Structure 1
């Protein structure tokens, strides 16, 4: 009886295995429709994330204008979570509702498959933005899920990469100067949106700086560097206490348009070990962003 039972089990298992193999062989041809999206070798990979319809999201959640420090901190924190996961990202740069992540030209993450790189970076960034919302917004509830789109661009030379990042930082200056003028005219002087746009039409940077100072007493160059320059995230070795150091993404507010930045952080392009970094005295103790990332 026992031998008969064992024989029956073996026969049934064999049939199931046969059917599984046959089924797999019959349908696996569909894999041939998948695109071979392996990224070209020896190019810098930039994954750029942008908020989708973020004006509506900002209005719904009562973001302060022209800059909401909570949102900027959360964006930086989500970007830090991405850098913690992907150690082949050498630098990230963010402003407003966008973030750019630069993978070293020798990176082999996901065997350089574009769809895997873009989808994983974007999903981790978005999920971190949602998951850690209350760390930066307190009791304010998230009214609906935010959405971010993502794309990748390849830059064949180091100069191309530097120019890309310079372009994004120049964009910060142009947009933030305009928005600072616009919202001061609307919120403090009572102009309508149309009236504010009309007043600023045709003005250059010097005109806007003069307007801010003469009408609102604002010295634009004294505003927080995060607003004027955006946030650069770099992986560095930092001092945790008297006996410990740790490698982590830190925020820097600097002019990456200037060659001085790349000379000070020459390990980025050469893909050397992260340098030790000591925060300026006005940022002691550790910035909140770094302290939060240490606890993730």
Structure 2
């Protein structure tokens, strides 16, 4: 590469490599999405088309980037997880975050007309911000995922009750907020059932649990493979030959990426899908 007298400006660049041997979570959030949702009249408390749009955009990000092992989304946020052994972009934070956010945003805008054919986009266009956080252990990673799913349930129960009081109960926003002030989950459930005949347990799973995206392989029997313990035992990444790494990458790229609405707090989800934490592709499901 040719040198020039101006090349010295490269010295101002700062290294931003993330900690090695840690799980990387890139979390994106919609910028100003309350105003955006109002502009396009999203249904309250949950707009299924808007959720499906988020999910398809996230699924395409997972498909494009085989180094991702799992993603979890709710409302206008999505968390994408890289395995602790991942060395994509030499683990440079700026590259990882901007790649995830820009790819997701591109797909979101590209897919908009599919889900909202009668609501063409106009400026200000939807945009997302992102951040990367490193988690040193499997338990830390799972606690993060559990936190996001618990937050989904708490927020959805509140919003479901809040909007029932407004849309069916005739309250305004302030009155509904005051009616729910200091209430616990059981009281919100009682309000929904006694006043509006809504059994919260029958609400769609996508609203209560959010959406989890991963590569689909054959499930294993719980207890037959302790993926969490295996991943935790890897004090240092196990070196792979370039050929083996490329082979596994191609296998992951060919795997079907699925969107589910499952409990990811309990062990069962992880025990039956050991490939997520081990980063070793499983068996391709049989057609049938």
TM-score (norm 1): 0.82
Q: Which has the larger radius of gyration?
A: 1
Counterpart mapping for 1:15-30 below 5 A: 21=2, 24-30=3-9
- Match of 2:216? 236
How far apart in 1 are the matches of 2:194 and 2:280? 48
Partner of 1:266: 274
- 2:259 matches 1:251: yes
Cα distance between partner residues in 1 of 2:84 and 2:48: 33
Partner SS for 1:87: coil
Taking only aligned residues, the RMSD between alpha carbons, in angstroms, comes to 1.8
Give, in angstroms, the shift of residue 139 of structure 1: 2.4
In structure 1, runs of 5+ residues without a counterpart are 1-19, 239-245, 280-296
Kindly tell me the number of residue pairs found equivalent between the two proteins. Answer: 252
| Structure 1 partner of 2:140 | 160
Distance across 1 between alignment mates of 2:86 and 2:174: 48
Change (3 A) 1:154 1:71: same
User: Which of 25, 30, 42 is equivalent to 1:46?
Assistant: 25
Deviations 1:128-166 (A, max 9, x none): 100110111122211331111100000000100000000
Which of 170, 176, 185 is equivalent to 2:156?
A: 176
Q: Shift of residue 248 of structure 1?
A: 2.4
- Supply the distance in 1 between the matched residues of 2:171 and 2:205 (Cα, whole angstroms): 27
**Alignment partner of 1:166: what SS?**
helix
Alignment partner of 1:36: what SS?
A: coil
CA distance in 1, matches of 2:71, 2:57: 11
| Structure 1 position 218 matched with structure 2 position 198 | yes
8 Å contact from structure 1 (residues 235, 274) kept in 2: no
Provide the residue aligned with 1:138 in structure 2: 117
Equivalent of 2:171 in 179, 188, 191: 191
Q: Kindly state the Cα deviation for residue 249 of structure 1 after the two structures are TM-superposed.
A: 1.5
Runs of 4 or more, structure 1, over 6 Å off, are: none
Q: CA deviation at 1:276?
A: 4.0
Structure 2 stretches lacking a partner, 5+ long: 219-253
Residue 180 of structure 2: aligned partner: 200
Matched residue SS, 1:146: coil
Corresponding residue of 1:84: 63
